[in-house]
Amino acid sequence: MNGQTSYFTVNMRPMCRPHVIVAFYIREMLCLYMNDITNIVPYGIKERFVPSLNNLLDTALFSFEQANQIITTPLPLPYACLCKTLLALWMLSFPLVVDYRLGWFGSMAIPILIGLALMGIDAISNELENPFGDDANDLDLLELIHNLESEAMEILSLCGDERGKARFAWRKMPRFYDEMSPKPIRKQVVLLEFASEEVVPSGSVTPASSDAEEE
């Protein structure tokens, strides 16, 4: 073939991202436990609710892709250099065109305030370039995940699905995860099928043990 080999290496390892796999299994569960008009699966999901749930799942995937695009798309370096260069030139040249007859407020205070405002906008824009991470001013995603877990467990309780609720439990949040959130998060939801027993000192109380005592 014109001196080119007809063999090439193909990577057969799965490279799908975790959130796509989770969405696939959720959609599979929706179709598996969908209840048709004959009502042969009393514990299943009504057929009219499945399209709405699928739309919510598609919206979640789209939002995840948007967040991933924000993280992976850096600010163009020429644009950042241009903004900082123009800001520096403006600050250096502005005192040369100030009218001294405006007084100390008009010729000193106002230019200083304008310079501080422009530098503040530049600093804030750098921080908002990527709001996802572990910095102090980033979005607290751990708190949002914890709220979602709490609401999901509460929905299982309100629906009376004790069988589904029994498959989950609360476990103590690892300390390094707890320290990443501005607000204290002491527990997390785990699937009992894959979770190990929580080993704690005698007499101590954990979220899992306290929930078991309440039941």
- Nearest Cα to 33, choosing from 194, 166, 163? 163
Q: Is 5 helix (H, G, I), strand (E, B) or coil?
A: coil
Q: 153 Cβ partners below 8 Å, 6+ apart?
A: 165, 168, 189
pTM for this model (two decimals): 0.56
Number of H helices, E strands in the chain: 9, 4
Q: Give the tens place of pLDDT for each residue, 101-139.
A: 878 788 788 888 888 888 888 888 877 777 777 777 777
The H-or-E segment that residue 86 falls in is helix 77-93
Q: Give the tens place of pLDDT for each residue, 63-89.
A: 888 888 887 887 788 888 888 888 888
pLDDT of residue 80: 81
Q: Give the tens place of pLDDT for each residue, 129-187.
A: 777 777 777 777 888 888 888 898 888 888 777 888 888 888 888 777 767 777 778 88
Q: Give the tens place of pLDDT for each residue, 197-214.
A: 765 444 444 444 444 444
Phi first, then psi: give them for residue 6, nearest 5 degrees.
Answer: -95, 5
pLDDT of residue 59: 92
pLDDT at 94 over 50: yes
* Contact between residue 95 and residue 110 where contact means Cβ atoms under 8 Å apart: no
Query: Range with the lowest mean pLDDT among 11-20, 51-60, 166-175, 178-187?
Result: 178-187
Amino acid at position 172, single letter: K
DSSP output for 131-169: --SSSTTS--HHHHHHHHHHHHHHHHHHHT-HHHHTTEE
- Nearest Cα to 167, choosing from 153, 148, 185? 153
The domain ranges of the chain are 8-74, 77-128
